[in-house]
Amino acid sequence: MKKWVGIILVLFIISLVGCSKTEEIKDEDVLSLLKEYKTEQYKIEDPKVTPTGDEIATRVKEYLTEDALEDQEANRTFQLAPDLTKNTNHSIELTNADISKKKENDDGTVIYTYNLSLKLTDIKNSSSENVEKKGEITVSNENELVITKDWQETSTFEDQVF
């Protein structure tokens, strides 16, 4: 009887360990997640009708953990693009993104560096300019692929910081 209890206990522990492992994080999945997230964050077609920072936060919350969303909101990150478009009369569009794996952490999260290319188009004369943005994201895949941290360098366009 003790033998069966021991076997059942070992099987139970193995099953718990197996269930608690995170799914493998694939670079192509992270790139897809980043593109979707940053498109929602930056895409503004009409500088006269811009979303608020709160509206952008609502659009991107599915890509971020609750803590990451709160950090971005506290730093007013989502208000920067609308302010830029209003103050410069430019639309914004994500045209390219690339990532590079930086570090795999012991907790199963992975840190990636990223480069974004944003196209800013003057609404009056249709001239456009590309602006590069660099940053880092940390992603986790415990239940689903999600961003646990997002940090990016500030950029300047026509004396506007964003």
pTM, two decimal places: 0.84
Domains in the chain, number: 1
Residue 5: inside a domain, yes or no?
A: no
pLDDT of residue 158: 82
Show the domain range for 90. Answer: 24-161
What does the pLDDT read at residue 124?
93
Q: For the chain of 162 residues, list the mean pLDDT of each consecutive stretch of 10.
A: 53 50 85 98 96 97 97 96 95 98 96 98 94 97 95 86 78
Residue 12 lies in a domain: no
Asked whether 43 and 95 are in contact (CB, 8 A), the reply is no
Provide the 3-class DSSP secondary structure of residue 34: helix
Look up residue 63 and give its DSSP letter. Answer: G
Within a domain: residue 8? no
Residue 57 lies in a domain: yes
In a domain, 14, yes or no: no
Instruction: CATH number of the domain at 75, please.
Output: 3.10.450.540
pLDDT recorded at residue 162: 80
Residue 9 falls inside a structural domain: no
